[in-house]
């Protein structure tokens, strides 16, 4: 109310100034000055009103969405030393061979056009912060999508990095993800085994997406399963899944990708099970680039308007990673705060997990 009354005082003062200018001398120039002052006052009042609407305090969910977007932007603007310090604070485990970090939301693993900061860029700084100024730069062993959070393993030297990459390649690393999905998978537990391929989407705005390339289809004549020719560019993709909780037209899923194809979990959930990851605007539609359409009950629980759904973050988290390095190392990372708050709002209870 203070801001509103202050705005009213400013408007009355500006309008008074306009009248004073227009009557003093009675000339044409004075009248024009008065008109400009009134226009300025009107414009400033409109801007103040818009600011108050945007910052209305009764919208905590939308405020958190904006804060998360701002955090992702800030990670691209901070000095590399500051980013390395953030990663150091999120260290989950370290020994003489590896360092495990908690990857933040919105931070890319690799650099590229338009990317100022990435995990790869600050590995030399992070190594010095964790060990000493003569430390060898840390090495990437695998990758996570920019919007995915959670456990990420770094190696202290090239030899260890090569060993870990081989473990990933030969599927000896057990990876467990958590995802909040739209809808309930049917059946509630199972395995999706459908190859994946990258294709160009022909639309008014052409773009590329990963999609399913199944080896079988249903015959239109008799409904029988028919084997079809394999797409030579498709990669084998296998994902084990289990529903941990369901509520508010959403589910919390535990996912174990057996293979490691690009966007595998997102594609298998969206196109294989019809349950896209909450906040996955890329794979919620095929032929268009548009915000994810959320059920009314989900919007109500999240206190979110559909028009703001485009800002909803991807709810995909690398929860656990089990690494056989001489002995089995189990690395666990709890979901980020925004993920936990969404679980609570949607009444997805995971107390026993």
Candidates 59, 121, 145, 184; catalytic one: 145
Tokens in use for 99? 């360092």
Q: Are 261 and 212 in contact (CB under 8 A)?
A: no
Q: DSSP class of residue 351?
A: T
Cis peptide preceding 114, ω within 30 of 0 = no
Buried b / exposed e along 131-153 (16+ C-beta atoms within 10 A): eeeeeebbbbbbbbbbbbbbbbb
Q: Is 145 a catalytic residue?
A: yes
Collapsing DSSP to helix, strand or coil, 257 comes out as strand
Residue 308's Cβ-side half-sphere holds a number of Cα atoms within 13 Å equal to 16
Give the integer Cα–Cα distance in Å for 77 and 91: 22
Residue bearing tokens 């535990």? 254
Task: Show which residues are catalytic.
Answer: 145
């Amino acid at each position: 109310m203070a801001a509103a009354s202050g705005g009213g005082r400013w408007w009355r003062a500006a309008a008074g100034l306009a009248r004073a200018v227009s009557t003093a001398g009675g000339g044409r120039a004075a009248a024009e000055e008065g008109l400009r002052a009134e226009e300025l006052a009107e414009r400033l009042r409109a801007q103040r009103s818009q600011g108050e609407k945007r910052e209305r305090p009764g919208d905590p969910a939308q405020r958190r969405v904006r804060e998360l977007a701002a955090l992702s932007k800030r990670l691209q603007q901070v000095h590399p030393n500051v980013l390395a310090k953030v990663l150091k604070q999120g260290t989950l485990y370290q020994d003489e061979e590896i360092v495990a970090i908690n990857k933040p939301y919105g931070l890319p693993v690799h650099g590229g056009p338009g990317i100022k900061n990435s995990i790869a860029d600050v590995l030399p700084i992070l190594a010095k912060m964790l060990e000493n100024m003569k430390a060898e730069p840390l090495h990437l062993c695998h990758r996570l999508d920019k919007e995915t959070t959670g456990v990420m393993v770094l190696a202290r030297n090239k030899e260890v990095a090569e060993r870990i990459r081989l473990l990933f390649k030969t599927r000896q690393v057990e990876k467990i993800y958590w995802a909040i999905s739209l809808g309930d998978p049917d059946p509630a537990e199972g395995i999706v085994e459908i190859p994946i391929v990258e294709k160009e989407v022909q639309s008014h705005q052409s773009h590329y997406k990963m999609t399913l390339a199944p080896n079988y289809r249903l015959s239109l004549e008799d409904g029988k399963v028919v084997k079809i020719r394999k797409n030579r560019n498709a990669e084998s993709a296998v994902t084990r899944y289990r529903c941990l909780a369901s509520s508010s037209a959403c589910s919390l899923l535990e996912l174990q990708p057996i293979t490691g194809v690009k966007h595998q979990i997102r594609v298998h959930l969206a196109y294989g099970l019809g349950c896209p990851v909450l906040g996955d605007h890329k794979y919620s539609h095929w032929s268009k680039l548009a915000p994810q359409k959320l059920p009314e009950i989900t919007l109500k629980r999240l206190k979110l308007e559909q028009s703001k759904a485009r800002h909803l973050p991807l709810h995909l988290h690398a929860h656990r990673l089990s690494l056989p390095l001489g002995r089995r190392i189990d690395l666990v990372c709890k979901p980020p705060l925004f993920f936990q708050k969404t679980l609570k709002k949607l009444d997805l209870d995971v107390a026993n997990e």
